[in-house]
Amino acid sequence: MDKMTGSEFYDYVVRTFKRTDKSSEVYDAITDTILDMCERMEFEDTKVEAYTVSGISALGDYKLDLPDNFGRLIGDVRWSDGEDSFTLVKLSKQKFNEQFPGHDGTDPIDGEPANYCVFGNQILLGPVPDNTTYEYQIDYSTFPADAVTSSTSEVLFSDKARECVKFGSLARLYEVMENFDMAERYRGKFENELGQFVAREKLNTRAPFAVKQVNI
């Protein structure tokens, strides 16, 4: 099944919701449901593999801007010198400041990057990179950058879990309408469908388990 457009998914929800005078609320509910799903799980549709960041263009710079649709990191940041690839160790912002106190000073510690932290929608590198040719890679899951509208070309998850998105949308809509019994009913359906969707994703991405044979 192909992904549905925004207007198609709106019609799909309204066939159950019935109200045609709440289009703004319907689109808001669809958007919020998708954001909720992205917050809870790194689904395959939201993953970006080995995104290469080449934002260090001048010596002394140590900050990489994260993409606009960035949700959360999957694994750690890696960097490459053109031949070998290395994994950086993640630090909290406090630990990063303690370990690299002079980053914004006139004589910062420079060298091959060994650590990083995420702060202010940026990746901070430490030590300050001593070369502008290093490449930096991250794997991350995305959050939708735009709200779902009638002109949306593809509604996320509408090909693999459209009932899940519909049930979550209906739960939100009935909550707004103060029909709390219906809201609770569809919230239960949403949670059930979401649990099944998550289980499928984990099964598809789980590494095979091999039993080691021991000769006695």
Is the model's pLDDT at 25 over the cut of 90?
A: yes
Name the phi and psi angles at 8, rounded to 5: -65, -40
Q: How many CA atoms lie within 13 A of 116 on its CB side?
A: 27
Residue range 88-119, pLDDT digits in tens = 999 999 999 999 988 877 778 899 999 999 99
Is the model's pLDDT at 149 over the cut of 80?
A: yes
H or E element in which residue 78 lies: strand 78-80
Report helix angle 6-17 to 162-176, nearest 10.
Answer: 60
pTM: 0.70
If one counts every other C-beta atom within 10 angstroms of the C-beta of residue 189, the result is 17
Residue range 165-197, pLDDT digits in tens = 999 999 999 999 999 999 999 999 999 999 999
